[in-house]
Structure 1
Amino acid sequence: MRWISLADAEAAARQSPRPVLIDLYTDWCGWCKVMDKRTYRNKNVISYLKEKFYTVKLDAETRSAVDWQGKKYPFNTQYKTNEIAMALTGGQLSYPTTVIIPAPGETPQPIPGYLAPNELELIVKYFGDGAYKRMPFPEFQKKFKSTW
């Protein structure tokens, strides 16, 4: 899997719009490591994400300020997390969280918890194939057939 920075994904999406997938993790999170090994090394996952998404790996506890959409997000000492993690998850911190930003300027869609390749497939194809523009997720989910 080729990961890029959030700033690079934002710039790339402005030039050539496509969804952004953010793997929001922490160094101490065991399920984050499992998702790295089982999901993000899966050949179907790698191939699809490479074609349809800009992929970002973001440490929720980075102490470095993170720039995104013209705003600087600092490390929050009270919550021991970077404020970008709170913004992307609507304050519902859980790791790992897969965050999908469907298009530049659209609301981040956080999906908390470990996702196996077939579980991730449902979500990334909903956004990557543009189905989110045409139908509600439950309707897509009913019709969806996993191939991974």
Structure 2
Amino acid sequence: MKNLLLLFGLLLVLQSHAQEINWMSMNEALEAQKKTPKKIFMDVYTDWCGPCKLLDKKTFHNKDVVEYVNTNYYAVKFNGEGTEEIKYNDFTYTNPNHNPDRKGRNSQHFFANALKISGYPSIVFFDEEGNLIAPVVGYKTPQQLEIYLKMIHTNDYKKLTNADAWQQYEQSFVSTFSN
């Protein structure tokens, strides 16, 4: 009986880990790209942002999202008002105006500013060489995020040169992600 409980506990732990995105820092993702090129999927969040927390809880724990992101991207978690030092394109980005005693909103990290982050949460995509593709602003359900994940991964975004092309792509897209 004790062995059975131990096995059951181990299965629960393994199952909970299977539902997690393998997050890393931007610096780690850029290093990983040098060895194995893969696109980067970046979650730009803040500590005070309610929709960011909902994205974490609902979308980033969806089994289809987890599996697709872990298979096809390097996933980066980045606090848009944090203090992480990021080395990107021969420049070191910081947040010198960050006030650790401040509650709620804080100063925007220079990297978030360079990416032109206009709201939180934002999902930012980078190509296999670390070049910016596009940010996507706002909370997304797993099904709403799916179109971006697949369009970027397959390079279909390169074919969408105008609003009509995007509209046709969006209308013909068939979601396969579960709720």
Maintained 8 Å contact 1:131/1:140? no
The higher radius of gyration belongs to 2
Render the CA deviation track for 1:42-63: whole Å, top value 9, x for unaligned. Answer: 0000000011000000001112
Maintained 8 Å contact 2:123/2:137? yes
Q: Whole-Å Cα distance in 2 between the matches of residues 135 and 81 of structure 1? A: 31
Q: 2:112 maps to which residue? A: 85
Maintained 8 Å contact 1:22/1:100? yes
Q: 2:172 maps to which residue? A: 143
User: For the structure 1 residues 64 and 9, does the alpha-carbon distance in structure 2 shift closer, same or farther, using more than 3 Å as the test?
Assistant: closer
User: For the structure 1 residues 84 and 42, does the alpha-carbon distance in structure 2 shift closer, same or farther, using more than 3 Å as the test?
Assistant: same
User: For the structure 1 residues 142 and 76, does the alpha-carbon distance in structure 2 shift closer, same or farther, using more than 3 Å as the test?
Assistant: farther
Question: Which of the numbers 144, 166, 172 marks the counterpart of 1:119?
Answer: 144
Residue 32 (structure 1) shift:
0.3
User: For the structure 1 residues 112 and 64, does the alpha-carbon distance in structure 2 shift closer, same or farther, using more than 3 Å as the test?
Assistant: same
Q: 1:129 maps to which residue? A: 154
SS of 2:124's equivalent in the other structure is strand
Alignment length (residue pairs):
146
Residue 107 (structure 1) shift:
2.5
Question: Which of the numbers 10, 19, 27 marks the counterpart of 2:39?
Answer: 19
Aligned pairs for 1:3-42 (under 5 A) are 3-42=23-62
Q: Which runs of 5+ in 1 are unaligned?
A: none
SS of 2:81's equivalent in the other structure is coil
- The letter for the 2-side match of 1:34 is L
- Tell me the TM-score normalised to structure 1 length: 0.89
More helix by share: 2
- Tell me the TM-score normalised to structure 2 length: 0.75
- The letter for the 2-side match of 1:67 is K
Q: What RMSD, in angstroms, separates the aligned Cα atoms of the two structures? A: 1.8
Percent identity between matched residues is 31
- The letter for the 2-side match of 1:82 is H
- The letter for the 2-side match of 1:41 is H
SS of 2:118's equivalent in the other structure is coil
Residue 105 (structure 1) shift:
4.4
Render the CA deviation track for 1:39-89: whole Å, top value 9, x for unaligned. Answer: 00000000000110000000011123222232101215297111001112x
**Are positions 1:55 and 2:62 aligned together?**
no
SS of 1:38's equivalent in the other structure is helix
